[in-house]
Amino acid sequence: MLSSAPKLCVDDVSMTFKTSAGVFHALAPVTLSIPQGRFVSLIGPSGCGKSTIFNIIAGLLEPTGGRVMIDGADATGTIGRVGYMLQKDLLLPWRTVLDNTVLGMEIQGVPLREARARSLPLLQRYGLAGFEYLYPNALSGGMRQRAALLRTLLFDTDLILLDEPFGALDAQTKLQMQEWLMQLWSDFGKTVLFVTHDVEEAIYLSDEVHVMGTRPGRIIATIPIPLPRPRLRMSSLTAEFVAIKQRCLAMLTVEGAAQETMNQAA
Ligand code: ADP
Ligand code: MG
């Protein structure tokens, strides 16, 4: 019974913040159901509540309403159930790349020597050979993100949350990182929930894209991405890809226009 449950269920989750300016309704009830092994993206305008949903799933924030279910069990407000890469890479500057990537394992109680022995071959296999003993400030933006992502994957959970991991990278590096992430996803078989504001990136990577609207944050469309895998870079030029992109952009634009009308009325 439990094995047939989705990996993750965000069940009618809402969030209200109390601020000095009053009550702020950040999330209307949001419901998401994500099967094991899928790659699912959330896209939406800045401030629509993407990071808030992630903080709630990670158990860092208690929702005002609703529940988070992982493998069919209530995980609301429980930390340690997901690997979470925050919008900032948060590598520790005083630790080498290798010792940054073992952090999650250390927290889970794996002895340091064993954690290093597990991590080292992965660093070498996934593009960080020669960087193992350098400190983060000696690395380029792309290499830092690789280290932060590997650290998240090495945290021994099968659900991971990635909040705009490539948002600050230049266009060329970003494309390389997308290929790299696809390789890791297929090798590790994890369930990934991914936040981006780049529509093309969301489509290229995902099995399903949820488009969010703002004020309060909510899901306004769920768009399946039936493009075959492995995906080729050129697939973003196909009629099928372009049609999906148009649909996503239309949802975001409709939402933007509606918001503008509301602002004018206010
Ligand atoms: P996104 O990640 O989609 O850009 P966030 O989830 O960071 O959006 O924020 C959603 C909204 O909730 C924003 O308007 C933000 O200012 C507000 N918000 C987030 N955290 C807090 C908080 N702790 N207190 C008050 N408001 C918050
Ligand atoms: Mg955010």
Q: Domain residue spans in the chain?
A: 1-80+160-266, 83-156
Closest CA to 184 of 241, 99, 126: 126
- For residue 150, what are the contacts with CB-CB under 8 A and spacing of at least 6? 101, 119, 122, 123, 126, 128
What is the separation, in whole angstroms, between the first and last Cα of the chain?
A: 50
CATH of 1-80+160-266, one of 3.40.50.300, 3.40.30.10, 3.30.70.330, 3.40.50.720: 3.40.50.300
> Tokens representing 146?
């690789």
Q: Which residue owns the Cα nearest ligand 1 atom 12?
A: 26
Q: Which residue owns the Cα nearest ligand 1 atom 5?
A: 49
* Mean pLDDT per 10-residue segment, the chain (266 residues): 81 96 95 97 95 96 98 95 86 96 90 95 94 96 92 89 94 94 94 96 98 94 95 92 96 73 64
Q: Report how far apart, in Å, the C-alpha atoms of 243 and of each of 39, 105, 207, 239 are.
A: 20, 42, 16, 6
Q: Which ligand lies nearest the alpha carbon of 88? A: 2
Angle in degrees, 0-180, between the axes of helices 171-188 and 141-154, rounded to the nearest 10? 20
Q: Which residue has the tokens 């995980």?
A: 75
pTM score? 0.93
